[in-house]
């Protein structure tokens, strides 16, 4: 991709195609790992050592979930896969009273051809999940306010 960030031209078949070269997010590791510097991120990509990376704070993941990762030996410069763990809630009006339905999303995104799509999905997909849950919120509760689909509480 060109350094100026305006566009890159690539040849696919006979016509010339242009696509934006500026990525929405720069390379990163999952937020819950709390890697704060480029040096910390670079250490995770050490192909000789192949360290196993776990969250610094195990309480950063909901439901006492676990997570660990390591880089493929020599297959890519960085770990192109991404992960996401988010908690949220949707408000549903039941009998004149606003009820909150909590939810948790865990996801792993495989960065087959680079980290760009996986990084974007790990940052943005949860908003689509939130919007979809909000659109079906009334279907998730009984008319008496009880939980129709969700029975586990934390």
Residue pLDDT, tens place only, 138-153: 888 765 555 555 554 4
> Strand 8-11 relative to strand 16-19: parallel, antiparallel, unpaired?
antiparallel
Alpha-carbon span 141 to 150, nearest angstrom: 9
pLDDT confidence of 16, banded at 50, 70, 90?
A: low
Is residue 60 pLDDT above 50, yes or no?
yes
Give this prediction's pTM. Answer: 0.65
CA separation for the pair 119, 125 (Å, rounded): 10
How far is residue 3 CA from its own chain's centroid? Answer: 27
Is the pLDDT at 30 greater than 80, yes or no?
A: yes
The answer to whether 56 and 33 have CB atoms below 8 angstroms apart is: yes
Q: Is 119 helix (H, G, I), strand (E, B) or coil?
A: helix
Lowest-confidence segment of 47-61, 68-82, 110-124 by average pLDDT: 68-82
Q: Are 87 and 103 in contact (CB under 8 A)?
A: yes
pLDDT at 128: 93
What's the pLDDT at 12?
44
Check if the beta carbon of residue 84 is closer than 8 Å to that of residue 122.
yes
Indicate the length of the chain as a whole number.
154
Over pLDDT 70: what percentage of the chain?
Answer: 74
């Amino acid at each position: 991709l060109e350094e100026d960030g305006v566009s890159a031209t690539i040849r696919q078949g006979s016509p010339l195609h242009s696509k934006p070269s500026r990525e929405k997010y720069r390379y990163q590791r999952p937020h819950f790992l709390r890697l704060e510097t480029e040096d910390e991120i670079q250490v995770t990509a050490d192909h000789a050592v192949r360290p196993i990376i776990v969250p610094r704070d195990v309480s950063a993941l909901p439901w006492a979930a676990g997570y660990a990762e390591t880089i493929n030996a020599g297959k890519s410069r960085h770990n192109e896969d991404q992960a996401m763990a988010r908690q949220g809630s949707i408000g549903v009006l039941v009998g004149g009273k606003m009820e909150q339905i909590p939810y948790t999303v865990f996801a792993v995104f495989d960065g087959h051809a680079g980290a760009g799509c996986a990084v974007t999905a790990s940052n943005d997909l949860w908003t689509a999940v939130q919007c979809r849950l909000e659109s079906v919120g009334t279907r998730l509760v009984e008319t008496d306010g009880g939980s129709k689909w969700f029975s586990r509480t934390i």
